[in-house]
Structure 1
Amino acid sequence: MQRKEQLEQNQNKSISRRSITWRPPPENWLKADVDAAYRRATVEGATAVVIWDNSGRLLTGESMRIITHSSLVAEAEAEAMRRVLILATNFNLEKIIIKSDILPLVQAVKSKTYIAEVEPILRDILLLAESLSNCGFTWVPRQGNKITDGVAKCSLAGQLEENWR
């Protein structure tokens, strides 16, 4: 029995050691990472958007502090997703893959369904996405979104100016 437990522990360690590597988007496409940070005690949040080209070069990004109306971090993350779509529209970025580490949010956008607490934001996301000729959404594990997570946390802590593009 002890051997089986030891094997399971080793397997779990192996899984947690797997590195998440950044994969570039296809040529002529961009990748946008979105993330959010949230402080329950004050219902404050911060959004972060970082846009990369297919060689891994940072093109632009922004962060913004927000007041959330829901205790769900999905509201702040959905707001970040809306922000990247607004940026893409304003800068005429036609081919963009948007990554989020909130799986239910990505599933809702891809299936064009709603999460009640963030329905108005999701409606905006779907309208903005339709206005772009090529736009996709994908889920990434939290470990694959560390830079954008750091930007959101710095913004929430007041350590980063808003709209630092």
Structure 2
Amino acid sequence: MEVAKRAYERVMEWIAATSSVQVQTNSFFIDRGTTWEPPPQGWLKCNFDSSFHSDSEHSGLGWIVRWDHKGAYIDSDFAHIEGIHSSLQAEASAFLQALQMVWVKGWRNVWFEGDCLPLVNIVNMKKENIELASLLEDVRYWMSKLPNCSLGFINRERNSAADKIAKYAY
């Protein structure tokens, strides 16, 4: 029931974020929330983000791994990379770095979250994207090495820890 409730809340959050219509369900308004939510029992949660500025071709990437209902910290890291041409490419690079780090650490049940809805849709709907090309191929390869992983979208407020790490890396 808890997982179903979270899934419902995520769908309603997505509708609210992508629609100009205010969402109302069962006479109460959906709270988009600003606090991090824990993963399901037995899973880790990895939030990732990037810091990209269009006037430069580099980006800061950051990710943080937590678990349990209190969000106990496990690990985090960052990277500064060159040759980035868009915010979408930066977000995909952050996700790829997080995937690789999680695999190297031996963690297998991981719920990834990022605040870039276009990336989440491209990955989850198995879409092709010329801008991401080989980067997307790498993301899919590393996801296949983690068969118990998922990628979800969260709003920027709930991704603030990863955002701060990415800004530091930039």
Into which bin does the TM-score normalised by the smaller protein fall? 0.7 to 0.9
Shift of 1:44: 1.6
1:65 to 61, 80, 83: 80
1:145 to 159, 163, 169: 159
Please say which structure displays the higher CA radius of gyration. 1
2:146 to 115, 121, 132: 132
**TM-score for the superposition, normalised by structure 2:** 0.77
Count how many residue pairs are aligned between Structure 1 and Structure 2. 141
Output one character per residue of 1:133-153: Cα deviation in whole Å (capped at 9) or x when no partner. 300000001111111111111
Shift of 1:62: 0.8
**TM-score for the superposition, normalised by structure 1:** 0.79
Output one character per residue of 1:37-60: Cα deviation in whole Å (capped at 9) or x when no partner. 012222221100111112411111
2:59/2:84 contact within 8 Å kept: no
Question: Between Structure 1 and Structure 2, which shows a larger proportion of helix residues?
Answer: 1
Structure 2 counterpart of 1:37: 51
The AA in structure 1 aligned to 2:158 is G
Secondary structure of 1:90 counterpart: helix
- After superposing on structure 2, the runs of 4+ consecutive aligned residues of structure 1 that deviate more than 3 Å are none
Structure 1 unmatched runs, 5+: 1-10, 157-165
Shift of 1:18: 5.5
1:63/1:152 contact within 8 Å kept: yes
Structure 2 unmatched runs, 5+: 1-21, 23-28
Secondary structure of 1:51 counterpart: strand
The AA in structure 2 aligned to 1:135 is C
Q: RMSD across aligned C-alpha pairs, in angstroms?
A: 1.7
The percent of aligned pairs where both chains have the same amino acid is: 26
**Alpha-carbon distance in structure 1 between the residues aligned to 2:154 and 2:32:** 14
Secondary structure of 1:107 counterpart: helix
Output one character per residue of 1:62-118: Cα deviation in whole Å (capped at 9) or x when no partner. 110111342x20111111100111112111111001101000100111011122111
